[in-house]
Chains A and B, each alone.
Chain A
Amino acid sequence: MAAAEFEHVTKRFGTVTALDDFSLLVADGELVAVVGPSGCGKSTLLRITAGLDRPSSGAIRVGGRRIDELPPHARDVAMVFQSYALYPHMTVRDNIEFPLRMRGVGRSERHAQATQIAEALELGTLLDRRPAELSGGQRQRVALARALVRHPALFLLDEPLSNLDAQLRVDVRQYIRALHRRLHVTTLYVTHDQTEAMTLGDRVAVLRGGRLQQADTPAAVYERPANGFVAAFIGTPPMNLLRAQASADALQIGDQRVALPLAMRARFGAHAGPLVIGVRPESFTTDGNARGLEAVIDPSTSEILGSETLARGTIGREPVIVRLNGIVRSLPPRLTADFSALHLFAADEQGRRLEE
């Protein structure tokens, strides 16, 4: 077990930069969930860490040892592939023992360790079967067992839940979480699903176009997204982003002018000019005391999901999605998001957060 350190790792394929100056420190025993849309570089990051691809520049250290120039078998890094990649010609036991055999572990020791991890992963009765005779969830546990049996310094998971059906996915998610708590192995977990990233990660690293956008705890990523992309990527439904003009005493959103109360003038005045206002769907309330942006709700768009009710509306012609708790049968015509709940982002391409 060890900390993993990425220092300015860059990978170019021809003219395409798949990973751009990626730096991150993954603490010993930490689980970092790397999340982003497809093509964001998360798979490249995993392959480079595993040694299946070489970085164009930069360094990777695990436990202080530089590994980016080593071949995969010398890295002490284990990986669970998206496709599981079980060896079909071997039994479950031989699959799990394979990494031990490659390290020259003796027969009885191999047997004992494989049995132990198989018991921990509830595979004890399946050891003599072949992968073809297992269900999808069982195959996945075999892949986990094979990767974990040798106690790697760094553990990589590539979209491990993507091949499972919805119910099993929730179960296995809990399972991986519990497993990580117990084994405390430094882990990079790659996924495109932000819910998975938020529920599993000690920290969440958001990638976009090969660049790291933000790496922070799930709560911090949600409460203080570093830029407009993270704001819109994390959360379901995503944060509403509204183009606006700020002046000393008012906000202009589309054709709507919102007068600022005295307490808010300094805050918005500091960023006078064009900016992007972010407001989470759940920030809208029916509370009459709230002072802020007022959304005009279209009641015909209401979606009652049980634990929550979603609806669409507009603020100065800019579309917004609002979310209310529980079942709301008759939506009020207007909902308000308090000024204090607003996020401020720059109006340029990067859209970085304007306040700390």
Chain B
Amino acid sequence: MRRAAAIAIAGAMLSCAVLLPLALILKQAVTPDAESFAWPPTWLPRQPTLDNFRALLGSAELPYGLRLSVAVALLTVLSTLTLTVSAAWAAARVSPVGRRLDAVLVVVRVFPSLALAVPMAVLFVRFGLYNNPAGIGLWIAHTLVALPFAFFVLRNAFRRIPVELEEAAQLDGATRFGAVWRVTLPLARPSLAAAALLVFLVSWDEFAYALLLQVTNRPLPPLLYYFSAFGYPGMASAVAAIMLVPALAIIAVLAPAIRAGGLSGSGR
């Protein structure tokens, strides 16, 4: 009884911590800026309005930024998983490979992203990818940022899958690649889905590279930043509210796959 109460209280506090900022964003998104700046602040808008959304959707910047952010995030998921599946498999199965890749990927994470973004911007200027309208440069940058996350998730997933299953598949007539394709990858599906979600959100929220590499062709996070920095809290909150939608959609799509599966039954 007491334990249940404690859990309920902890749960409520945690929910408040997560939901309160969310509620404030949604409130500010439907509040005129004049009211947002007024004192004392209000909990609920006195004059709710959709003006912020109307203005955004009427502009060229928001639809462009939305398309750019979604495209870069989805492409980043694709490229990152393609690159990391093979690397993570090798690292999980061949131990010297694993140790070396660990070291390399940790070193990359040691530098602050801004320190890497500037030389990357210089490089992209030379290749014509700087401020690229299709976000090619940003896609490459996000792939590099997301790579270690996906790598560690997938390597740990592959390590949990017994190597005997791949060996059995080979004896059953599958090639080495066929064994991974038909046995290991299906068993790693929950982790693949989790890695995809993680990579999507890393790209979706990424700010430093987006700000520096896409100076005028802006994806959503820098766009939000500009509205906020130049004194339009309503518009900034509306962008944030809009950003929630694709993120929630991808979570809804991937969540069932993450929960499914399991390894039990392969052995004794």
Contacts and interface: CB of A to CB of B under 8 A. Distances in A.
B268 A83 contact: yes
Interface in A14-49: none
Contacts of B119: none
A81 B261 contact: no
A136 B264 CA distance: 12
A132 B265 contact: yes
Contacts of B178: 73, 102
Nearest to B189: A89
A25 to B, nearest CB: 23
Interface stretch (B23-31, B98-106, B165-173, B192-200): B165-173
Contacts of A77: 171
B266 A72 contact: no
A51 B187 CA distance: 24
B246 interface: no
A71 B183 contact: no
Given A73-B175, A102-B178, A85 B170 contact: no
A94 to B, nearest CB: 10
Contacts of B187: 88-89
B259 interface: no
A134 B176 CA distance: 28
B175 A84 contact: no
Contacts of B261: 89
12 contacts: A71-B176, A75-B171, A86-B265, A88-B263, A89-B261, A98-B182, A99-B173, A102-B178, A132-B265, A146-B172, A147-B171, A163-B268
Given A71-B176, A73-B175, A83-B162, A98 B266 contact: no
A84 B268 contact: yes
Contacts of A84: 266-268
A255 B268 CA distance: 53
B266 A52 contact: no
B170 A51 contact: yes
B267 A89 contact: no
Contacts, number: 91
Contact of A132 (B162, B170, B172, B264): B264
A273 B164 CA distance: 52
A89 B178 CA distance: 16
Find the residue from B168, B186, B264 having the highest chain A CB count within 10 A. Answer: B168
Interface residues of B, number: 26
A339 interface: no
Interface string B152-186: 00000000001011011111111110100011001
Contacts of B176: 71
A85 B172 CA distance: 11
Contacts of B11: none
B173 A81 contact: no
A69 interface: no
Contacts of A136: 268
Given A86-B267, A88-B263, 8 more contacts: A50-B171, A52-B171, A75-B171, A86-B265, A87-B165, A98-B169, A102-B174, A163-B268
Interface string B120-140: 000000000000000000000
A218 interface: no
Interface in B247-262: 261-262
User: Chain A: interface residue count, which band?
Assistant: 20 to 34
Contacts of A79: 168, 171
Contact of A130 (B174, B175, B182, B265): B265
B236 to A, nearest CB: 46
Contacts of B183: 87, 89
A81 B175 contact: no
B174 A73 contact: yes
Contact of B165 (A52, A85, A147): A85
A81 B169 CA distance: 11
Contacts of A98: 169, 172, 182
A102 B173 contact: yes
A139 B170 contact: no
A131 interface: yes
A78 interface: yes
A107 interface: no
A103 interface: yes
Contacts of A99: 172-173
Contacts of B170: 51-52, 71-73
A133 interface: yes
A161 to B, nearest CB: 11
Contacts of A103: 173
Nearest to B179: A73
Nearest to A104: B173
A102 B170 CA distance: 10
Find the residue from B162, B170, B182 having the highest chain A CB count within 10 A. Answer: B170
A136 B262 CA distance: 18
Contacts of A130: 265
Given A71-B176, A89-B187, A132-B262, A83 B267 contact: yes
Nearest to B187: A89
A275 B120 CA distance: 80
B161 to A, nearest CB: 9
A77 B173 CA distance: 9
